[in-house]
Amino acid sequence: MKTFRKELWFETRQRRELINITGTVANCLKESGIREGLLLCNAMHITASVFINDDESGLHGDFEEWLEGLAPEKPYSRYRHNGAEDNADAHLKRTIMGREVVVAVTQGALDLGPWEQIFYGEFDGKRRKRVLVKIIGE
Ligand code: ZN
Q: Tell me the per-residue pLDDT of 47-79, one tens digit each, with 9 for 90 and over.
A: 999 999 999 999 999 999 999 999 999 999 999
pLDDT score at 17: 98
User: Count of domains in the chain?
Assistant: 1
- Distance, CA 77 to ligand 1 centroid (Å)? 13
- Distance, CA 121 to ligand 1 centroid (Å)? 16
Question: What does the chain come to in residues?
Answer: 138
pLDDT score at 129: 98
CATH number of domain containing 61: 2.60.120.460
- Considering the entire predicted model, what is its pTM? 0.97
Low-confidence ranges of the chain (pLDDT < 70): none
Mean pLDDT, the chain, integer = 98
- Distance, CA 102 to ligand 1 centroid (Å)? 26
pLDDT score at 71: 98
Q: CB neighbours of 66 closer than 8 A, spacing ≥ 6?
A: none
pLDDT score at 11: 97
In the chain, the percentage of residues whose pLDDT exceeds 70 is 100
Range of the domain at 95: 2-137
Contact indicator for 105, 36 with CB cutoff of 8 Å: yes
- Distance, CA 87 to ligand 1 centroid (Å)? 5
- Distance, CA 27 to ligand 1 centroid (Å)? 32
Contact indicator for 34, 105 with CB cutoff of 8 Å: yes
- Distance, CA 124 to ligand 1 centroid (Å)? 9
- Distance, CA 127 to ligand 1 centroid (Å)? 14
Spatial separation of the C-alpha atoms in residues 134 and 87, rounded to whole Å: 28
